[in-house]
Amino acid sequence: MALLDTSDIGDSTAIRGEIRRRRSVKPDAGFGIGDGLYDSSSSSRTNSSEEEGESLTNGFDENERIRAGDETQTTQENKQKTDQRRDKTSLLQYAYRASSPAHRRIKESPLSSDAIFKQSHAGLFNLCIVVLVAVNGRLIIENLMKYGLLINSNFWFSSRSLRDWPLLMCCVSLLFFPLAAYIVEKLAWKKRISDPVVITLHVIVTTTAILYPVFMILRVDSVVLSGVSLMLCACINWLKLTSFVHTSYDMRSLVNSTDKGETESESLDIELFYDADFKSLVYFLLAPTLCYQLRYPRTAFIRKGWVLRQLIKLIIFTGLMGFIIEQYINPIVQNSQHPLNGDILYAIERVLKLSVPNLYVWLCMFYCFFHLWLNILAELLRFGDREFYKDWWNAQTIEEYWRLWNMPVHKWIVRHLYFPCLRNGIPKGAAILVAFFMSAVFHELCIAVPCHIFKFWAFIGIMFQVPLVLLTNYLQNKFQNSMVGNIIFWCFFSILGQPMCVLLYYHDVMNQKVNSK
């Protein structure tokens, strides 16, 4: 093996080159020996001519050395390339001989469970994109051939929508409740009213803030879209109002405990000692957060060009969402039967057919609201913390999904509901159940009230998440595989849960209209 070493080969080549260079130097040695054989008289007579001859000979020999060295280097490079080609040819001839071993190591299949995540799946991802484009392209052509273009502006804005001005006035009047809470807090900080009175007034204000829009929607014969918009604004206003009240009460409690010597003032941040600040409350009502605090992280400036680009995206994706609703979801829903009153196979077929466009609308809604709109609002207000969502699409359990999906609501629940329950001695499991119960109530209000139907489908759907949380947590602990819980999440949310709720509420609304006539 030492004979095949590249360093040895290089050394032998260098020796051969050195021998060639020495051979080229021999004429100089010969002339020097010859000069020593001449006598002094002859050398004196030919001194000048010999000096000229030596200079010419030396110049000639130097050129010969350079030329010989270049030829030697070129010869060495050509020989090395030839040797490398011979080595490769010999190796290939040996590798493809019948006697050479074809199996040398232990290897897993690329799609096996041990090696699937070590491989690149870019080609399969491209295949999925091609299949999605082909399938949805066929559905678009089939839908246009069957129904034509169903885009109608009356679906969003009609003469009936103009009669919804009481709901618009109700939405504007919701600002009265934060103002009332601010006045109560101002009186509490000045110690004009006692804590029991403050608590009673805050309970009245917050309860009225959520019941007032419910009463207005039920009294006014409005379109569903107007009612949903008002209820969303009312729920956001209630959550912000509750955070302001709870935070202010906690601040006053800390200040009072510090004055009594129960808490060391050095352990508290100086920002905690403040009076009820109206500017902070106004900024909080506009900011894309549900948790009140005196100061927020702020950016240095507003990127106007960035805001314009996001607004263009918001308009495009909102239009795409409306197109999918009118062109695909409406015909499917109108041509379907009640999923609980017909053939079970037919109901499953309708739900699966509705699941694809419903998933597109859901993803567009998420991108438009949580990414585009909240970031636009944060940029205009220079709001720094823009973690409005996390990678919920990689959730391994249902519980993890609810922690990643809606970060403003998650932070509110943790701050104002979950940890207060734990501090009051409520077990962790019961605290989680309370959080899901509150979420179910608000989902029911946002859907059932605008539809004027209280069948509790949304409430049941959210509370059904509790056993799913237990199931996915059990499967995660048992199999230690992130794919199981993630697949269950996508199936129950996108394929079964949401399309089923859409069909249930639509047919209940249609039955209600038929019965009223």
* Spatial separation of the C-alpha atoms in residues 155 and 161, rounded to whole Å: 10
**Residue 443 is a catalytic residue:** yes
First to last CA, the chain: 99
Q: Which residues fall within 8 angstroms of residue 209, CB to CB, at 6 or more apart?
A: 174, 177, 234, 237, 238, 241
Structure tokens of 403?
Answer: 């922690």
SS3 276: coil
Q: Among residues 202, 410, 416, 443, which one is catalytic?
A: 443
* Spatial separation of the C-alpha atoms in residues 74 and 1, rounded to whole Å: 27
* Spatial separation of the C-alpha atoms in residues 409 and 238, rounded to whole Å: 12
CA angle 135, 139, 140 (to 5 degrees): 115
Q: Which residues fall within 8 angstroms of residue 431, CB to CB, at 6 or more apart?
A: 417, 418, 421, 422
CA angle 249, 252, 258 (to 5 degrees): 145
State the SS3 of 338-404.
CCCCCCHHHHHHHHHHHHHHHHHHHHHHHHHHHHHHHHHHHHHCCECCCCCCCCHHHCCCHHHHHHH
At 298, give phi and psi (nearest 5°): -120, 145
* Spatial separation of the C-alpha atoms in residues 121 and 135, rounded to whole Å: 21
* Spatial separation of the C-alpha atoms in residues 9 and 13, rounded to whole Å: 6
Q: Give catalytic residues, as residue numbers.
A: 443
